[in-house]
Every structure is written in C-alpha cells, then in structure tokens.
Structure 1
Amino acid sequence: MSDQTLPDSAQYVIIGGGIVGCSVAYHLTKMGHSDVVLLEQGQLSCGTTWHAAGLVGQLRSHPAMTDLIRYSTELYAGLEAETGLGTGWNRCGSVTVAHSEDRMTMLKRTAASARAQGVEVEVISPAEAQEKWPVMQVDDLEGAIWMPGDGKANPTDLTQSLAKGARGRGARVIEGVQVTDILTENGAVTGVVTDHGTIRAEVVVNCAGQWARKLGLMCGVDVPLHSAEHLYIVTEKMEGVHSDLPVMRDPDGYIYFKEETGGLVMGGFEPEAKPWGMNGIPDKFFFQLLPDDWDQFEILMDNALIRVPQLADAGVREFYNGPESFTPDNNYILGEAPNLRNFFVGAGFNSMGIASAGGAGRALAEWIVEGAPTSDLFSVDIRRFAGFNNNPTWLHDRIKETLGLHYAMPWPNRELDTARPFRRSPLYDRLAAKHAVFGSKMGWERANFFAEDAVSARIDYSFGRQNWHDAVGAEHKAVREGVALFDQTSFAKLMVQGRDACAQLNRICAANIDVAPGRTVYTGLLNARGGYESDLTVLRLGRYKFLLITGSAQAVHDTDWITRNLDEGAHVTLTDVTSAWSVLALMGPKSRDVLGALSKADLGNEAFPFGTHREIDLGYATVRANRMTYVGELGWELLVPSEFTVGVYEDLMRAGVPHGIRDAGYYALEGLRLEKGFRAWSRELTPDVTPLQAGLSFAVDMHKPGGFIGRDALLAAEADPNHLCKRIVQLVLDDGDAQLWGGEAVLMDGAEIGEVRSGAYGHTLGACAALCLLTGDVPLTRDVLKAGRFEIDLAGKKLSAKLHLRSPYDPAGARPKTDG
C-alpha cells in the first residue's frame, strides 16, 4: 500500500489504476472535483496498460468516437508541459496500406469519411507510402493512406502523467489495495470493501480492465467482456528505423508496426483469436505475460516477413503475449449501469485503450458529473448490452471472432458468424426453410432477405451491389404493388402501467401521448439538450396502461431512460414484455384484402383509421392490429401472442396466395424507409440531433400541459437561427448504378459538409436514397439547401445527388391512409 492511508469515505472511488482509470481521475479533478480516490490492487499500469503497443489512430467508424480520440491526441501532446512527466507522445503520423482493389476502395472511403470528420488524410501511391516508410517493400500494394495527425505514446508514462495531474488537484492514488466487494443499498452503490477496509462512496467507477466483469458480478452488473491473447514482438535495432518513423498498418496482413528504441514493434490481430482466462483472471496477474506462442503468431510473422523482408535478419529482443479484454462488438463499454445507480463502468477497450483513454476518460467524467452523457455515446454505451450478452460460453466464442475483426475487411452490412443462432423468433425455422438469410441485432436472428434457393442463400460481400440485390428488389416490389410480410418480432416492447403512467410518460415523451385508448402516437424521448435518446411508438391500451414499441437494440437503454426519469414515488411500473409478443408487419396495397379474408373486423378507414390500434380476430387467434407503417404503404403491425405466432403466420400466407404475398426482410425494409425519408434511431436520430434538425417537429407538442424533457432546449433552439447549421436531409443519387452503404462524405458546392448516415438502393426510385447529416457554417435554411449543389464522395468518385425536402415517393403521404 502506498503512503496514503485508506479514507473512510470519498465522493468518487475509481477501481483500477490503468490508463483509463487514471484518465477518469484526471478529468474529474480537472472539472473541480477533488474528493477522488483511485484504488489499484497492484501498481499503476500493472494489468494491461503496461504491455499495450501504444498506437494512437484517430479515425473510427463513428464520428463521436473519432472526436474522443482527436481529443486524446490533443491531451497527450500537452500533458508533459502540465505535469512535468514525459508521455512518449510522438505525432509521427501513420500509413495504412492496401494489397487489393477492395482494400483500396475501403481506404478511399475511409479518406472521404476522415475529411468529412475534419481529420487530415491523404490518399497516396505505393511509392509515396514507401517514402514515408522506407523499410517496407511495396511491389504487391495497390496504394495507401497517410494520416499525419496519428501517433504513438508510452502507455506507462502516460498513465503516470495522468495520475500526477490528478494528484496535483487533490485526488488520492492508492496502490496495493484490492476491492473484494461492492456495497449497495436501495438500488444504488454505497461504497467498496477492500482488503484494507471499507470506503463509503457516492459514486464508484469500475475501470478494472480484465477484472471489470468480475467486479460487476459482485453487485449484479453485467460487463460483457472476455480476455484474449494479444501478441507482438520487439526487434533489435534495424537499419532505416528511426524515432520519427510513422506507425504502419497492413490490415490485409493483419499486422501493424511502430518504432521502439531503433527497432520495430510488430504485432497484429490474427483472424481467429485465442481466448484466455476462462475460469477468471488471477488476482495477482501484475506485470505478467503469458507463454510465447509462435504457432498462434505464425500467420502474423509470415505476413510481416513479406512486408519487411529484413525482419528475417533482425534479432527478436522480446516476445510479448499479454492478455487484453475484448467486447462482443469491438467497442468499449462506458456509462452508468442501468440496474445500479451511481455505479459507472469504463472497460473493455479492445486493444484501443491508449488511443481512446483520453477522450473516454473525459466523457465518463462528464457523464458522472452531469448525470447523463454530454454527447452521442450510444456505440459504447453499456446499455447497448443485455444480461444475456454476459453469458461466459457465448462471450468465449464471440470474442474469438471480434478480435480478428480489427483488421478484417469492414464490408458493408458485415454480419458476425460466431455464437449464432442466439435469439430466435417462433418463425425462425419456417423462414429458414424458405431460404431466409439472417442477420443479427441485439442477438435476434432476423431475416435480411429471402434467396431463390439454398445455393444463393448467402451474402457475397462487396462495396458495390451484393448478390442479393435482385431478390430484395422483388420483395420491395411486392410491398409497393402487392403485399408482403415482415417478421419484426425483435422489436422491443415495454408495458407501462399505473395510476401515474400517463402523466409520467407525457413528461418523458415529446409528443402528447394523453390520447384516447386505441390511439397510437409516434414520439421521441429527448434529453435536456433536446436531442434524441430514442424514438418509439406509444399504444394507449387503457386509462392507466400503455405499450411502447421501440427498436430491437433499445430495450435496456429505453427502460433505463424512462425509469430514471420517473418522479420518486410515482405510481407506475415498467415491464419488458418483448418475449411475450411477436410482431408481424403486413404491408402493401393488398394488405387489407389479406387481413379481411381472415378477420370479421371492419378494416375500413372510418372504423379503423391510420394511427389507431384494435384487438381483432385473425383466424383462430386474437391479435392487436396497429395501423402504422415504416415503409410508406397501407399496412398493419400485428402484435401476436408468441404461442399463436406460427398459426397466424400460416393463415396470413395462405390467405395471401391470391394476392402474390411474399416474405420480406430487413434489407428491403431499409430501402423502403429511405425512399420515404423515415429517420432511424442511432443513425439519423442521436442524442446530438434535435427534432428541429431532424425535420420531425410534427412529432413534438411544444404546448402540452406540463411540458416535457428537452422542451426548454427546443424553445431556445427555435429562437436561434444557428441551430439549423446542423440538418438531416434526404438525397437521391443521379447515377442509378452506384451503391451507397452509409459513411460516405457529402459535399455541398464542392466542399465537405457532412456524411451519409443511412444509404440503400431505392428500387422504386431506381437509384440509391440516402439520409445525411450536414453541418454547415451558416444556417441550412430551405433556401440555402435548395440553392446548393450536392455530391456524394463514393471512394473518391464524386457523384451528383438531388436534394428532396419532401419524400420523392408519395410526398403527400396518402398511400398508408388509403381506403381503396
């Protein structure tokens, strides 16, 4: 134990003295909070941090994550001047090379995305790449990108510097103290028990690295991560290697390089990883490595010798086999546990902890102090996982794949293959028999499309049109011209009941949900900044009873958001009833004919108007029919008790035969909704986007009694013209052959102004439709937008696109409301 004695209490207790824990302590104290105690069971950086490679690459697939790493680079550059301790930070830049045309296409897409996010980048030739990194051979390369803002750092030195900065502002950093239990009371954390005594705490932060899952289990919090071996070597000094040599990544070879003391660090992410610690991580695994495993390392070494032939003559000074923790989706875990107040987690950094620690530490500190995230962090939010994601057998199998994905080709709509099938709807086997090709969302197996036969029931990944294009076109046509059935059972369903349910929900929802029973309301859940925490539909079932239907990935997040915003003592309960109900969406102009053949209910507009729901007979079953659409056509979402699902499906398919009914999947759904310009949560709708910016003011009731969360921010935004410097807009390509996937840069009058958040082929329009987030220097008013010339950068090729301020398909929105 260090020279500081253990206090009886503290406002904040941080568990774990790696770089992330020290960053959280640093940023809490920088925000003026000095009553911070950081506990480390060994010595600072002794777990994973000390053997990290120390690469800092700025660009990530999600702009919010790029912003956090950009902040990391700024922090690391100035930390030595602040604390007097060196960090080893060197803004040496990075080169990423491509072997294949597909990889080069990916790098060009990366470059366009980087420019749209304000990251300096340059597409370069193989010869130019060799000038930047002279020790490699480039005969087999297609090209590369150069990012001068990237760099490298010394992880241990960085950690010590952050710790010193925190100490200088009052934090206590205590080493040699092991946490043995987490204290809780009434659903909130109250302190920690250690081998040196108990500390009462208002807030506990779990930054315990590989031990974070174990700590979570002490208090019933799921932290789904699993350790795997990460291998690299350090060579003796090599000719041509100098301290300012850039970082080099060769993802086709699964390898990376950086300079260290005149030699090279060479490591990578082999396609099939080797999990470790299946029976738990040893408590005293400090500054330790695992045994050398040259067999596991062989694929990396073989590829490294191709890229850097002189490695064959270089001595190996050190072989590092250090375990690190990885998550099921390759993004780290941040935020307050949904089931335990004031218990925060910052863990599972997937070999990206050094690059991410500065920004992630700041983001978590802000979340702790403000009580909510201060930016869009859903891609790393702990609430994106559920309890079943913490199953150790499932984690073991999934982590073998996700570690390898670091350098795998990031194909559009790439599906993970391991630990599946996982969650299945009652129709899974029947859809599989019809050659459904499934994707996975929140563990659910969901039909992406239906192939013609077993041979074509696969996804052939590419950056252009993929093999399922025509099959999805047929599904799309059925929805627009006839009738199709979507299995959307994965929708999350939350039942909210109680005497105060209406008043409480109406304050949490932006729209007015105090409507007559039988009405359906589309609404957003907004944060105090007016940004979207979710969007969902509310079905009022009775005076005190509401059913909320939300996205497949949002059950944990939305449950947490709603419950934490209920008034204390309110007479209301929320129950996740997702598994009790299937959702079969019957969509298309012939949907009324199919439903009418099976039900005695009056389905006409007068008796059953759009935006209403009713319990109806359907064959032998009784279901709740909700007249809504996400495809822009006449249709009903049928909520079917799970035990009746198969019978209802069989009846609908039989009754639909005269009308050419067919099954349809999520790829068709994406194209259909983008033709209509329908926004989606976590794509267009984020915590940093308001209804005014999203074009969804119609779904907000600014004047309802009692107001709602975010109303003050929206009122201020209405009075601020600059609020519309950010907008969601719809673009359609002029080129009918090009394929968009999302992430492409958008240009207005020749200058980067944003990115495609969602893109898919619109078979009715005959071209790709896109919803884009634009951020301009001036308010993007209707007149400014209409006067603009728009292009989309598709892997370096600029394609003209037409702006649509109203949906290009059925702009009046008449088709879903037809009584034909």
Structure 2
Amino acid sequence: MTKLPNQAQVVIIGGGIIGTSVAYHLAKLGWTDTVLLEQGQLSSGTTWHAAGLVGQLRSHANMTGLIQYSTELYSQLESETGLATGWNNCGSVSVARTEDRMTVLRRSAASARAQGIDIEVITPSEAAKLWPLMATDDLKGAVWLPGDGKANPTDLTQSLAKGARQNGVKVFEKIRVTNVETENGAVSAVVTEQGTIKTEYVINCAGQWARKIGQMCGVSVPLHSAEHMYIVTEQIEGVKPDLPVMRDPDGYIYFKEEVGGLVMGGFEPEAKPWGMDGIPDDFEFSLLPDDWDQFEILMENALLRVPALEQSQVRQFYNGPESFTPDNNFLLGEAPELKNFYVGAGFNSMGIASAGGAGRALAEWIVNGAPTLDLFPVDIRRFARFNNNPNWLHDRVKETLGLHYAMPWPNRELDTARPLRRSPLYAHLKDQGACFGSKMGWERANWFAKSAGKPETGYSFGKQNWFDDVKQEHDAVRNHVGIFDQTSFSKFLIQGRDACALLNRLCTREIDAEIGRSIYTGLLNEHGGYESDLTVMRLDHDRFLLITGSAQTTRDTDWISKAIEPDCHATLTDMSSAYSVLSVMGPKSRQLLERISDADFSNSGFPFATIQEIDIAYASCFANRMTYVGELGWELYVPTEFTVGVYEAIKQVGADLGLMDAGYYALEGLRLEKGYRAWSRELTPDINPYEAGLGFAVDLDKPSGFIGQDAVRAAKETGLLKNRIIQLTLDDPEIMLWSGELVLRNGIPIGEVRSAAYGHSVGAAVCLAHIHDDDGLPKDWLVSGDWTIDIAGQVVSATLHMRPAFDPKSERVRL
C-alpha cells in the first residue's frame, strides 16, 4: 500500500462520485499533486445505492449544460479507462395525469428547445409504445427525451477514480479525516487517523458527512440527510435493457430497468429526515431498515401505473439515506468563511446526473480561481450562516425533498421553518392583510389581500387569485403613492482611508463623487460579467453605504472582502439588521413626505440620485432619491428601532393621498414595465453591461480603472453583441408569463424569458428575455423580426421594445 504523503497541493475528502469526478478533472487540467481520501471504500457512502438516473433538463441553462457534459463523459469514459460505467442512453418518458401537469411538461418542452435539448411532446398512446408495461388510461400526455439515460454509480465512480490515478492522483481508502487545520484565514492541513497532510487546497466532497467536515474548520455546509427508498423487482416479462427511464411525478414515482426487472422509487410528499444525532463514521455500504409504511404512497401509485408489479416479486428493498439541501440544488464552490476550502456536496438524489459536469466546473473554479460560468443556482454563497442551523435544516429539508415531484407552480413559496427573519413591520403588515413570501429567510409581503379575501395564494398558470389586488397596488404607485417594506435589502458600510479607492477598483462607475451622491453601478469579473449590481451612497469622504439584493448578502460580502488587500485601510461591515427600508414611491410621494419632514424635497433641494440625512416624524434617517419602480420616490433607511414609528406616521398622513401598502408582486410588474434589470436573472457573470443594456453605468475612462475594464472595453470596441437582454410585451392581454418561456424570432428559437410579470400600466404581460446569437444581434436585425413566445406549447405574438414600454424617456422619476 502506498504510504500517505505528508504534503500535497490538493486534498479531496470523500471518494464518492463527486470526489472522484473532481479528482479526475483536476488531473485533466494538470493538477496532479492531488490526494483523495475516503474513510471507507470508494462509493461506499451514498453513491453505491443511488438509482443512477441521468435526466438532462434543468430550469437553468448552465445546470442543463453540466448534465449534458456528464452524458458525454459517461459515454466515453470506458474507452479511456477500460472500466465500464454502465452508461445506457435509453432515453426517458415523463407522464402527466392532470392538465396542470401537462402544462408543466409543455413548458418543459419549450424550455428544452431554448436550451438545445431534444424533446418531443407525445400522446398517451405514443408513451405506451415506448413503455409497454405502463397503464395509460388516466394520462393526458407525456414528453420523450431521447438523450437521457442511466448509469451504474459504483462502476462510474471506479472508472473516474482510475482515470484520476492514470493522471497522477493518489487515492487512499480507509483513511478517516479528523480535523482540518487553518492558518491566516486559509486551509493549511488535513489531519487523519494515519497522519497529517499539509496542503494548499481542501475540497469537501464528503456527502452526508460534508456538514461535519465543514464544522471542523468553521464552514457552514447546509445539508441534512433523509431516507430515500426504492425497490428492485425480480425479472418481469417485457422489461428489456433499453427500456426508457419513466417518471410519473403526479404519483411521486420513477422506474428504470435493472437486470430484467424494475427499480421503482420516488419522493414521497412527507419526507423522513435522518441522522439528527450525526451520521456514523462507519456507515459503509449500509442501509436503513425497511419502512413499508413510509413507502406505501409510492407503492400504491406504482401499482396504478404498472399493474404488472402486483404479480412481481420484490428482490430487495433499499432504504439508503442521502443528503439534501434547503432548496433542492447542490452546493458548489469556495466557502466564504475560509480561503481555499471548496465544497461539492448535497446533490439531492441528482449526484449521478450532475457529477461529471459539477466535477469539471469545480475543478475549473479551483484552477482558475473563479467560476468559468454562471453557477449561482448552486453556489454555496447563496446561503447564510443561519441556513446551517440543524433544527431549521431538519424542517426545511423535510419539505424540499417532498417537492421533487410536486407541481412547480409559478411563485411557489416554501412553508416550513417560517416565519424566520421578520422586519419590525411584520405584525403591522400582517394586520393589513399581507401574504408573505420568503427570501434569504426574510418574510416579505408579496401582496395584500383585498378582494381576494384571505391572504393565501391560489396557484395556477393563469391569472392567480391576487391579480386584481396587485393591480390596485400597482395603480396606487403609478397614480398616487405606495409604500414598500424592503427591509430585506443587503446593506453594507465600507469605511476607512482607502474606502473610495477600493470601491473605485470594484465598481464600473466613478465613485469619487461629491458627498451625498447615490450611484448605481456594477461589480464585474475579469471577463466583464456581472458579479453584482448595487447602489453606492457616499455619506462622507471615507464612508459609503452600499445597498444590494436580499439574496446576495453572503456572496457580495465574500466578493468585496476578497478584494481588500492586507495593506488596504478599509473595513466592510454588514449593516443589514441595523436599518429597515421603507420605499415611498409615486407621483404624490413628495407631497406625503413634506407633511412629516422639514427637509426640502424639491428637485433643486433634493435632486435625483442623491442621499441626505433627514428628520422624519420623531426620528432621523437617510433618504435616498432613487427608484426601482420608475416613479418619483425615496428610499428611507430607518434605524430598526424607529421603523414602526416612521411607518405609522407615513400611514397617518397619507390616507387622503391614496397611500397604499404594496408588495413584491406589484414591484416586479412596475420594474419590468421600466425594463429595470435584476441580478441573477438578467445580470449574471456571463452578461456584460453592454449586452445588458447598461452601458450608461460604465465609466470606461475613469483614472483608477476597474476589474473587468479591459474585457468591457473590448466588447464595446468590437460592437459585436452575441447576447442581449430585451423587453417584450405580449399582444394578448389575457395571457400570463412566468419566466422560463421560449422566445422565438421569425419562428426560430433565440432565447428565453428571464423575468416576467403583468404590466398593468401597459395592459399586458411584460418580460425581460435573454437572447443569443454567435453572429451578433444588431439593432436593425432585432426590430425587423417577428417576435413570439412559446407558452406551454401556445405560440403567442409579442412586441419588442427598444426603449422601456412605460415612460420611455424616464420623465416621471424626475417630476
């Protein structure tokens, strides 16, 4: 046996399919001084009992791309290593029992076309030809994906490990990690029962044990184990090796062929968390006791779908725990708490499908020092410390696991582990009839019940029950005045002698402006893509307040902190809990604020894009003249303890002005009418400012320069925009858009909807869409096209707007 080295450039913890994939891809990139440690045997934790399904299509194009790469890798790996992977490109069929589910499948088909995935909407009889054992009398239809397949998890892991070894990686089994040592905020060594390995990089691919490994060095890895069950039958007549994978999400079940029999499993609506007291270290090639009571709902549905099961013998019942995350997406990337500590874990029963692409993406991230594509849906920095609370994880994962096959309704909210983070106005808004949603743990008012009665969302793909109530809120903001509680904004204070220089290096705009300026800007990566967009407010010569999105707190903290060099005299402080944000918006906002403040709110006294400290009612706060709804208005940054008093004062004086509480559904429609972009939807690491239509927010010639400047300058000079964010409105006022729909020009797929809402001021659904063409997207080409959108198979005509559909000259914000 090879002796454990005392030093290596990289140490990977965990020898399942993810750990071996990362090792394989690091070696392919030339990083061969890598050690992989497995506490048991390769694949012995979770990988060995995975079902091995590989379905390509995901809601995010880059996530789909990762799985497409996986299928390519799995089909070629045997020829490289000589070890079989069990890859079988058998295709998959997903069926629908209801019209709503059929709508989902048709939407999936349109999304697949947008992402270049081969898919076909088929009838029940056509599905029966592909899957002859299936009962189809209750089905509405199905979709067929010929590029999907299945693989053998253990064989695949061994093949990846051999490929890694062939390129110089050292793989050790029966080596248990007991600690991860750190020095100066970075990893320094991995301690095992058989010695210590000094190292520059640690990659945590420990599966169910990943959270425990993270705790060794102060890193949050929010995942929780839950029982996952399936059965394997004896041989069944008519079951052949090329039988497609079949999914019946309305029955929570899936099927695949195995040795002439069937594997049947699923995701029951009420999941069963496991391992609350910790995962035993020696849980190797182990299963949990059979639980036929928990499995009953799956078995009942399976017998309805495949009647032949009733006469079949069950060869084995598998109850193998797996790790799940709070949002059903896996965890990837460098931990924000510790430099050079990377995580690849929490794959939510999708590890076999994702492993090839995820392993390559993580390896590229490590080698390049940054992601090579937009990975925000799986970026570990999308979570905060509170998400690692074991009680919160237990309750949330119980729900998210059960949502695997649940109806993916538009705007669906999770119900468990709530309410969690509440603004000081939570109780007041609840009394006003608020229906709350949740983002980064914050309870946020989505809409206020008026004509709808109870503040409960009735989900559908058409106009939901809040439609008329949101229209009232929308109209109040456009014609009178509305108030939004936007306390969930992330808020940072950057101060110190070098604060201005630091921000100028990070931001696309010139930050060295007069005190009191409020500056909308982007933070870019070296490729010129968006890492964030935010507002920078200069409070003093060495003090700045930054406002960014609710979900970006951890990510933006990490990005900015890493830019602060050791000799830089600047500090970053998260002030999110110190201030509430009340946005008073609408043509009568000035009139309202003048009633409770002596500040001069005139255009000359309080110009657009400026911030002042003002007295309001009995309190003092910062007032920022900025808007995300396209109206005259101010964002009030109120110290938390004064929030209720200021809100009550605003409500008291605003009644005769038509003041109305408004929620995030109204805000979304208002901002989309104006074409205002949002980070992680329209603005991503793959989109530069000119492609986003935000060239005005770039000061290319500012003396200090900024990260990404060269890439952005090159993009401007070439003038070739391969990507664009465009605004479209539907020509039919009765049809809703929800995002993810396929966009076509002259009948040819060209992109997808990124954000959508109903624009009550323009009388139609409005969206921002991302389109792409390698030959470029010039303006004359755009305006000469015939634009349509595929909405669940219905192709609807749309109108392109080269300027905002509402108030194209932005006159209202400067009233």
Which band: TM-score by shorter chain?
Answer: over 0.9
Match runs of 1:453-468 below 5 Å? 455-468=453-466
Aligned to 2:77: 79
Structure 2 counterpart of 1:350, one-letter code: N
Q: Deviations over 1:457-516 (max 9, x none)?
A: 110000111000000000000000000000000000011011000001100111111111
Q: Could you tell me how far 1:733 is from its partner in structure 2?
A: 0.6
Q: Could you tell me how far 1:798 is from its partner in structure 2?
A: 0.5
Q: 2:439 aligns with which of 433, 437, 441?
A: 441
Q: 1:783 aligns with which of 780, 793, 796?
A: 780
- Confirm or deny: 8 A CA contact 1:224 1:390 kept in the other structure: yes
Aligned to 1:164: 162
Q: Deviations over 1:4-52 (max 9, x none)?
A: 2110100000000000000000000000111010000000000000000
Aligned to 1:739, what secondary structure does the other structure show?
coil
Aligned to 2:814: 817
Distance 1:452 1:692 in 2: 42
Aligned to 2:116: 118
Distance 2:805 2:317 in 1: 59
Distance 2:50 2:493 in 1: 46
Q: Deviations over 1:580-621 (max 9, x none)?
A: 000000000000011000000111000100000101110100
Distance 1:576 1:453 in 2: 40
Match runs of 1:632-651 below 5 Å? 632-651=630-649
Alignment of 1:769 with 2:766, yes or no, is yes
Aligned to 1:300, what secondary structure does the other structure show?
helix
Aligned to 1:176: 174
Distance 1:407 1:589 in 2: 45
Distance 1:701 1:196 in 2: 56
- Confirm or deny: 8 A CA contact 2:70 2:354 kept in the other structure: yes
Aligned to 2:373, what secondary structure does the other structure show?
coil
Aligned to 2:550, what secondary structure does the other structure show?
coil
Alignment of 1:604 with 2:608, yes or no, is no
Q: Deviations over 1:277-320 (max 9, x none)?
A: 00110010000000000000000000000000010000000000
Distance 2:763 2:451 in 1: 25
Aligned to 1:746: 743
Aligned to 2:304, what secondary structure does the other structure show?
helix
Aligned to 2:312: 314
Aligned to 1:238: 236
Aligned to 1:673: 671
Structure 2 counterpart of 1:84, one-letter code: G
Q: Could you tell me how far 1:565 is from its partner in structure 2?
A: 1.6
Distance 2:718 2:786 in 1: 25
Distance 2:528 2:77 in 1: 34
Structure 1 counterpart of 2:103, one-letter code: T
- Confirm or deny: 8 A CA contact 2:452 2:465 kept in the other structure: no
Q: Deviations over 1:148-168 (max 9, x none)?
A: 000000000000000000000
Distance 1:511 1:148 in 2: 48
Structure 2 counterpart of 1:605, one-letter code: N
- Confirm or deny: 8 A CA contact 1:733 1:801 kept in the other structure: yes
Q: Could you tell me how far 1:719 is from its partner in structure 2?
A: 2.8
Distance 2:675 2:272 in 1: 44
Aligned to 1:108: 106
Q: 1:552 aligns with which of 536, 550, 553?
A: 550
Match runs of 1:23-422 below 5 Å? 23-422=21-420
- Confirm or deny: 8 A CA contact 1:435 1:454 kept in the other structure: no
- Confirm or deny: 8 A CA contact 2:529 2:687 kept in the other structure: yes
Aligned to 1:653: 651
Q: Deviations over 1:301-347 (max 9, x none)?
A: 00000000010000000000000000000000000010100000000
Structure 2 counterpart of 1:755, one-letter code: E
Distance 2:410 2:718 in 1: 38
Q: 1:116 to 1:88 in 2, by over 3 A?
A: same
Alignment of 1:759 with 2:740, yes or no, is no
Distance 1:454 1:621 in 2: 35
Q: Aligned-residue CA RMSD in angstroms?
A: 0.7
Distance 1:587 1:485 in 2: 6
Distance 1:37 1:774 in 2: 42
Q: Deviations over 1:141-187 (max 9, x none)?
A: 00000000000000000000000000000000000000000000110
- Confirm or deny: 8 A CA contact 1:435 1:453 kept in the other structure: no
Distance 1:81 1:320 in 2: 31
Aligned to 1:715: 713
Q: Could you tell me how far 1:721 is from its partner in structure 2?
A: 4.0
Q: Could you tell me how far 1:567 is from its partner in structure 2?
A: 2.6
Distance 1:446 1:389 in 2: 18
- Confirm or deny: 8 A CA contact 1:504 1:567 kept in the other structure: no
Structure 2 counterpart of 1:263, one-letter code: G
Q: Could you tell me how far 1:566 is from its partner in structure 2?
A: 2.1
Aligned to 1:23, what secondary structure does the other structure show?
helix
Distance 1:707 1:138 in 2: 63
Distance 2:108 2:686 in 1: 23
Aligned to 2:577, what secondary structure does the other structure show?
helix
Q: Deviations over 1:241-271 (max 9, x none)?
A: 0000000000000000000000000000000
Aligned to 1:798: 795
Distance 1:567 1:579 in 2: 26
Structure 2 counterpart of 1:23, one-letter code: S
Distance 1:565 1:510 in 2: 15
- Confirm or deny: 8 A CA contact 2:452 2:466 kept in the other structure: no
Aligned to 1:20: 18
Q: Could you tell me how far 1:397 is from its partner in structure 2?
A: 0.4
Aligned to 1:109, what secondary structure does the other structure show?
helix
Structure 2 counterpart of 1:689, one-letter code: I
Q: Could you tell me how far 1:453 is from its partner in structure 2?
A: 6.8
Q: Deviations over 1:718-742 (max 9, x none)?
A: 23344x1211000011000000000
- Confirm or deny: 8 A CA contact 1:167 1:173 kept in the other structure: yes
Structure 2 counterpart of 1:802, one-letter code: T
Distance 1:606 1:549 in 2: 24
Distance 2:93 2:660 in 1: 49
- Confirm or deny: 8 A CA contact 1:653 1:661 kept in the other structure: yes
Aligned to 2:554, what secondary structure does the other structure show?
helix
Structure 2 counterpart of 1:595, one-letter code: L
Aligned to 1:543: 541
Distance 1:125 1:589 in 2: 53
Q: What TM-score comes out, normalization by structure 2 length? A: 1.00
Distance 2:772 2:133 in 1: 41
Q: 1:736 aligns with which of 733, 736, 741?
A: 733
Distance 2:655 2:723 in 1: 47
Structure 2 counterpart of 1:270, one-letter code: E
Distance 2:639 2:659 in 1: 22
Structure 1 counterpart of 2:628, one-letter code: Y
Percent identity reads 69
Distance 2:607 2:704 in 1: 29
Aligned to 2:403, what secondary structure does the other structure show?
helix
Aligned to 1:563: 561
Alignment of 1:691 with 2:689, yes or no, is yes
Distance 1:784 1:456 in 2: 48
Aligned to 2:646, what secondary structure does the other structure show?
helix
Q: Could you tell me how far 1:454 is from its partner in structure 2?
A: 8.4
Alignment of 1:496 with 2:497, yes or no, is no
Number of matched pairs: 815
Aligned to 1:726: 723
- Confirm or deny: 8 A CA contact 1:753 1:775 kept in the other structure: yes
Distance 1:630 1:44 in 2: 52
Distance 1:344 1:569 in 2: 26
Structure 2 counterpart of 1:416, one-letter code: L
Distance 2:307 2:378 in 1: 39
Aligned to 2:805: 808
Structure 1 counterpart of 2:79, one-letter code: A
- Structure 1 gap ranges (5+): none
- Confirm or deny: 8 A CA contact 2:451 2:469 kept in the other structure: no
